[in-house]
Every structure is written in C-alpha cells, then in structure tokens.
Amino acid sequence: YWGTPIPIIHCQACGTVPVPESDLPVPLPDMENFVPDGQPPLARATDFVNTSCPQCGEPAQRECDTMTGFVCSSWYFLRYTSPHNRDQMFDAKAVQKWLPIADYVGGKEHSVGHLMYARFICHFLNDLGLINFTEPFTHLFNQGVVGKNGSKMSKSRGNVVSIEDMVTQYGADTARMFILFATPPDRDMEWSDKGVAGIHRFLHRVWRTISEVQSSRDQTTNQKLTRIMHQTIQAVTKDMERWQHNTAISRLMELTHAIQQTQSDHTDDTREACETLISLIAPFAPHTAEALWQKLGHTSSVHRAPWPKHDPKLAAEQTIKIAIQVNGKKRDTITIPRSLDESDIVQKAQNSQRVAKSLTDHTVQQTIYVPNRLVNFVTKGGVKNDIRHNQSESAKNIVTN
C-alpha cells in the first residue's frame, strides 16, 4: 500500500490493460487495516479494486501490488525544483537550473541503496529526454555518527540524547554549533554535555562582545585586528568549502578573542570586525547572528548580506620566519619584516651568531634563497642540494619546527 501504485487493470476478456493517461494519477483509498495476511492491503479495498475495463467496459480488477518505495524516493530531488507543479512530475527548466545536486550527505549504506536507484532513474529519464544529465549527484559525503558512552546512540541501549531537551536548555544555536564543532563531519563523535556547555558559554561571550561595541568616529586603525579579521575570513571560507566546520568555528573563537582585546579602542575597525564575526557565525548560529545584526542597527537580515571577502594584502603577516641553513642543515630561524628584499634577508641571515659561527673559516660558494622560507649557505666542500624544489618543500617543516 505504501509503495507506488501500478496503473494496470486486469480484464478476463482483454487481459492486462494500462490505465488511460487521462485517468492518471489513480488516487489510493483511505485505509485503516494494514495487518499482513499474505495479500496486498489494497486487495481489501473492494471499492478500489473492482472497476471496469477501459477497453471493453466489462467488470475488471485493479492491480493491488505496488512497486518498491525506491521508485518514489529515487527522484524526490527532481520534484523539489517545482513542488507545486500540478501538471508534470517536474518542470524541465527548473531541473536544468538547479540540478544535478552538488553535494549529497548520507551514510555509506546509501551507496548500494538509494544512490543506486536514483542513478538508475536519472539514466532512465535521460533516455526519455526528460532531463539533460545521467548522474544525479556530483559529490557524496559520508557523515559520521553520534555516540554516547562508547557506542552508537540507540533507544535499545538507552543512550539517546534528546535534542528537544538540549534546545530547551541551551537553545538551537548551541546544539547545532556543538555538533559542528565537536569533530570533523566525516568522523564519529562522542556526545559531551560539557562540550555543549562550552559552546553555550562561547555564544554568550560573542553576545557580550558585540553588545559592548559602540559606534565611534575615531578613524584610527588597528592593523593587528584588521589582519586577524581578514585572515579569519580567508580561513573560514576555505574551511567551509572543505566541510571543515570545526576548524572554522575555532577561527571564529580566535577572532572573538581578538575583538575583546581591542574593544576599549572603540575604533571603526572594531565595529567592522564585529560585523564580520556576525556574518561568519551566521551559518552556525543563525538565530544569534540575526539578533546581533539587528542590535548593531541593520534593518535587513544578516542572511541576505553578502559574504565577507578577504584582502590578501591586509591578511598578510607583517613579519615572516626564515630558516637558515648551512650546507643543508638548519642553524637558526630569524623573524624579519616581510618587506625586506633578498639581499637584506641574506645579510641578516649571515649576521646571525649561530650562522656566523658555522661559517667561520669557511668560504661561502653559493647562497640559495627560497622566497619567504629559507636561506641556505653552501660552503666550499660542503653538501650542496642542487634541487631548489626540495629546498622549498623541506622548508615547510623546518620553519615550523
């Protein structure tokens, strides 16, 4: 009964007869008894079953069996593009505009279930010329599961957390943000009541921080806050594109802390950073973000505001760390202004006491400079790395160690 009806009529004289298209769709009867007895539930609805043959008009019976539920569930996303269309299963132009689906989030078991049937349906509809693609999903993302007390949540195990209770106690934004922050979305996570409370405190801190912001005509700039703000925009945007919501939220915590450190300045930069924080936090805590956005005097919704864009120049650190090597071995690390040219950087590298000691009684035969990463002095008779690419790759680890 719950599957897709099969529009077929069985006539003793004419055999199997399709229901005329003018009579489609065939509405199913209202039923109350679905207890299995070896026959399809529809067989009990005699008023539905007994009908007349569309060809000869003699008494006939409708098909009582139904198709698998996958027949409906395998194309629901097509229907979503035009849900109020009463004349067609979907509008072809709407489907062409919105589909195929960019990202499908589901468990691994879907790969040999729903996804397989959905692909079959789309290949079939493409063969009929009804859609212009064959593959319905361009990317599949398998999310992790939430567990508690060391096992997957299950009513039978008695370890289910009531989201309704969490929303009542902490609010929907806290519950949502905790799940996104607790772990990368493709990994299983262990539920933590302490973690929920921690996110709740963070949102309260954001609220207090924004609430204390004052409009100011002070035109002085805070370069450090501006740099952190643009770095946060860049990092959060990239993290969201990679589905790394947990690290994105971590960056929002860092921006909140940076704003708190400069709040007493009451500069325009502080207000801009607050507005940026609200915009970036909106996908994770939409209700909190909307209320704070209005609190700052905006009349339109934060969810209609453009997504912040970072300026690479403003996001760049004013100083960089340069690793210094002698014959390929790290001897020192120096912090220098980013604006220095190569000759000045090499000179500062040579002035390092550790490097100078290593170069004593040696003649520098070659100086290798990898921009913004390292300087390697090759002495006469020393080990020389002729592959500049290897110097660049190894520097990534050297600078951070």
What are the pLDDT digits (tens) for 35-60?
777 788 888 889 999 999 999 999 99
Instruction: Give the pLDDT score at 158.
Output: 66
398 Cβ contact partners less than 8 Å away, ≥ 6 residues apart: 323, 325, 330, 333, 374
Ramachandran bin of 390, using left for φ above 0, alpha for ψ from -120 to 50, beta for the remaining angles: alpha
The hierarchical CATH code for the domain 319-400 is 3.10.20.590
User: If you classify domain 202-313 with CATH, what class do you get?
Assistant: mainly alpha
Instruction: Give the pLDDT score at 401.
Output: 38
383: pLDDT strictly greater than 90: no
CB atoms within 10 A of CB 332: 18
Helix axes 193-211, 172-182, angle to 10 degrees: 120
Ranges for all domains in the chain classified under CATH 3.10.20.590: 319-400
Of the chain, the end-to-end C-alpha distance in Å amounts to 66
366: pLDDT strictly greater than 80: yes
CA distance 398 to 331: 10
What is the token pair recorded at 351? 């002035």
Instruction: Give the pLDDT score at 54.
Output: 95
Q: Are 5 and 69 a contacting pair, CB within 8 Å?
A: no
Closest CA to 177 of 156, 195, 151: 195
Highest mean pLDDT among 87-96, 192-201, 216-225: 87-96
What are the pLDDT digits (tens) for 145-180?
777 666 666 666 666 677 788 888 899 999 999 989
Q: What percent of the chain has pLDDT over 70?
A: 88
Q: What is the mean pLDDT of residues 67-83?
A: 90
Categorize the per-residue pLDDT at 380 as very low, low, confident or very high, splitting at 50, 70 and 90: confident
Ranges for all domains in the chain classified under CATH 1.10.730.10: 202-313
Categorize the per-residue pLDDT at 132 as very low, low, confident or very high, splitting at 50, 70 and 90: very high
